[in-house]
């Protein structure tokens, strides 16, 4: 098995390289990476249902869909991501305990008693420190997870939607947990880079078949191309998710309104807004518009409907 220490902080590229190594190689890999602030949603989730659209938009935090299932996680430079890409035996491919046990053992070597709980979480004293997800590709498994070390818990909480009652869909829902950072329990580790080096050295010592590996230029180019064409695309990150219905009541233009929208493949297919003649007329213009902040803002401006800056978030 090869050990890859990804130097990139680009979440688009780092997700792409996992897919490239999963699908374009027969080798097995253990990968460690750190990403810039980003919200990573599961393959079968709806982005707006999972994230606080106002917060991520105003703070320019990208929302990126991954190829694995499960719930939404927040990444930043205080979060260490680990990935296993392994050959697997048919019928025994999905095995969260198998792939998290080496991480549990590593944490134990650091004096931390982490336990596997629920379907895919690692917890310490009841607090979640790691979420995990998997994807099967032929006879290969991609398993990846997070380790909260010194992440911004304020940004994490602010990025994720707390009240999802406005949304009705078949999408996989996240299971919110109380989280904590490992930093306070790792007195001998100063920063995420040191944690990364420590974890790599631990795995090299405890797996004699593990060897360090660097990406080839071809693999880098393939990953960059996939990053640009897929992981940065609206079609993958927003349109791929399941259809949903959005319903909300709000005050706008000094009147109370009830808005209902049906969204499929990221595009608003149906819209009704009751409360004022102006908004009733606008509701007939909205179908065909992408359910995105910029697109709706542009449409209101085009129709000379002047909204306060914050008003647009009533539609998310």
* Average pLDDT of the chain to the nearest whole number: 96
Angle, CA 210 vertex, CA 110 and CA 95 arms, to 5°: 70
pLDDT category of residue 95 using cuts at 50, 70 and 90? confident
Whether residue 85 has pLDDT greater than 90: yes
Q: How many C-beta atoms lie closer than 10 Å to residue 312's C-beta?
A: 18
Q: What whole-number distance in Å separates Cα of residue 52 and Cα of residue 65? A: 15
Q: Are residues 192 and 268 in the same domain?
A: no
Q: What is the mean pLDDT of residues 51-56?
A: 98
Between residues 147 and 190, which one has the greater pLDDT? 147
Q: Are residues 310 and 287 in the same domain?
A: yes
Q: Determine contact, residues 276/255, Cβ cutoff 8 Å.
A: yes
Query: pLDDT tens, 265-296?
Result: 999 999 999 999 999 999 999 999 999 999 99
Q: Which domain holds residue 309?
A: 244-315
Q: Are residues 261 and 205 in the same domain?
A: no
Give the CATH number for residue 206. 3.30.930.10
pLDDT category of residue 188 using cuts at 50, 70 and 90? confident
Q: What is the mean pLDDT of residues 229-243?
A: 97
pLDDT category of residue 93 using cuts at 50, 70 and 90? confident
pLDDT value of residue 287? 98
Burial class (CB in 10 A: 0-12, 13-18, 19+), 178: exposed
Those residues whose C-beta lies under 8 Å from the C-beta of residue 205, and which sit 6 or more positions away, are none
Between residues 217 and 176, which one has the greater pLDDT? 217
pLDDT value of residue 175? 87
Whether residue 119 has pLDDT greater than 80: yes
Q: Are residues 28 and 173 in the same domain?
A: yes
* Residue at which a domain ends, from 211, 239, 267: 239
Give the residue from 223, 151, 222, 156 showing the smallest Cα distance to 191. 151
pLDDT value of residue 236? 98
pLDDT value of residue 161? 97
Percent above pLDDT 70 for the chain: 100
Q: Are residues 116 and 221 in the same domain?
A: yes
Q: Are residues 227 and 114 in the same domain?
A: yes
CA distances from residue 237 to 75, 229, 232, 233, 304 in whole angstroms, order as listed: 16, 11, 7, 6, 30
pLDDT value of residue 261? 98
| Residues 126-136 as b or e (16 or more Cβ within 10 Å = b) | eebbbbbbbbe
Rounded to the nearest 5 percent, the helix, strand and coil shares of the chain are 35, 30, 35
CA distances from residue 305 to 136, 278, 280, 295, 296 in whole angstroms, order as listed: 48, 8, 12, 14, 11
Which residues are registered as beta bridge partners of 134?
143
Those residues whose C-beta lies under 8 Å from the C-beta of residue 154, and which sit 6 or more positions away, are none
Percent above pLDDT 90 for the chain: 93
Q: How many C-beta atoms lie closer than 10 Å to residue 197's C-beta?
A: 13
Q: Determine contact, residues 190/87, Cβ cutoff 8 Å.
A: no
pLDDT value of residue 311? 97
Give the CATH number for residue 258. 3.30.390.50
Q: Determine contact, residues 85/31, Cβ cutoff 8 Å.
A: yes
**Number of domains within the chain:** 2
* Residue at which a domain ends, from 223, 239, 255: 239
Q: Whole-prediction pTM value?
A: 0.95
Q: Are residues 7 and 74 in the same domain?
A: yes
Q: What whole-number distance in Å separates Cα of residue 308 and Cα of residue 251? A: 11
Q: Are residues 123 and 156 in the same domain?
A: yes
pLDDT value of residue 103? 98
* Residue at which a domain ends, from 179, 210, 239: 239
Whether residue 89 has pLDDT greater than 90: no
Q: What is the mean pLDDT of residues 111-128?
A: 94
């Amino acid at each position: 098995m090869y050990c890859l220490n990804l130097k990139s902080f680009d979440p688009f590229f780092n997700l792409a390289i996992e897919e490239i190594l999963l699908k374009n190689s027969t080798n097995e890999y253990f990968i460690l990476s750190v990403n810039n602030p980003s919200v990573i949603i599961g393959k079968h989730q709806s982005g707006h249902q999972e994230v606080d659209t106002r917060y991520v938009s105003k703070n320019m935090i990208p929302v990126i869909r991954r190829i694995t299932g499960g719930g939404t996680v927040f990444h930043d430079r205080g979060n260490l991501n680990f990935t296993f890409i392994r050959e697997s035996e048919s019928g025994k491919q999905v095995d969260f305990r198998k792939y998290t046990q080496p991480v549990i053992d590593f944490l134990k070597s650091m004096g931390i008693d982490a336990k596997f709980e629920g379907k895919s979480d690692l917890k310490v004293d009841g607090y979640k420190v790691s979420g995990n997800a998997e994807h099967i590709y032929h006879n290969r498994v991609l398993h990846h997870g997070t380790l909260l070390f010194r992440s911004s818990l304020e940004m994490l909480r602010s990025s994720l939607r707390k009240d999802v009652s406005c949304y009705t869909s078949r999408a996989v829902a996240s299971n919110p947990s109380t989280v904590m950072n490992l930093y306070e329990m790792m007195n001998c580790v100063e920063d995420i880079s040191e944690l990364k080096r420590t974890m790599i050295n631990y795995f090299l010592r405890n797996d004699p078949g593990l060897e360090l590996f660097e990406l080839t230029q071809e693999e880098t180019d393939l990953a960059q191309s996939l990053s640009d064409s897929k992981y940065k695309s609206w079609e993958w990150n927003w349109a791929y998710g399941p259809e949903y219905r959005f319903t909300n009541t709000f005050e706008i233009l000094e009147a109370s309104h009830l808005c209902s929208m049906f969204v499929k493949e990221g595009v608003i297919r149906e819209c009704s807004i009751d409360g004022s003649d102006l908004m009733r007329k606008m509701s007939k213009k909205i179908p065909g518009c992408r359910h995105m902040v910029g697109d709706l803002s542009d449409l209101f401006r085009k129709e000379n409907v002047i909204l306060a800056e914050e008003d647009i978030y009533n539609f998310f």
